[in-house]
Amino acid sequence: MTKPRDLIIVFGTVQRVMRAESQARKRGLDVDVIPAPRSVSSECGFVIEARSEDASRWSGLLQELELTPQSVFRHTGGGWVPGSLETGPRPSNRPRQRGR
């Protein structure tokens, strides 16, 4: 069973969306261009839908292409929420407490 696409990347122009999609497909990323959901604002009306498990690959690709997304959203049970291309929990500076 294929995992659902749960990441939306917003660029603001159709040209940037198409450029990012083309380059992502060349690198084997599972991606699609879709109309922007109502809960996600996009000036151009289209966004990239991808898988959050590929977020680090997206980050590297966009850095290479010198493309900065306007925003990134992740899908939760309740819908699309603002997010980032960073993966995993952020490290805490607090020391771990051990059980007794």
* pLDDT the model gives residue 88: 41
* pLDDT the model gives residue 87: 57
Full set of structural domains in the chain with CATH: 7-82 (3.30.70)
pLDDT (tens place) for every residue of the chain, 100 residues total: 567 899 999 998 999 999 999 999 999 999 999 999 888 876 778 999 999 999 999 999 999 999 999 999 999 888 899 999 985 433 333 343 444 4
Please provide the DSSP assignment of the chain as one string. -PPPP-EEEE-SSHHHHHHHHHHHHHTT---EEEEPPTTS--SSSEEEEE-GGGHHHHHHHHHHHT---SEEEEEETTEEEE--S--SPPPPSSPPPPP-
pTM above 0.85, yes or no: no
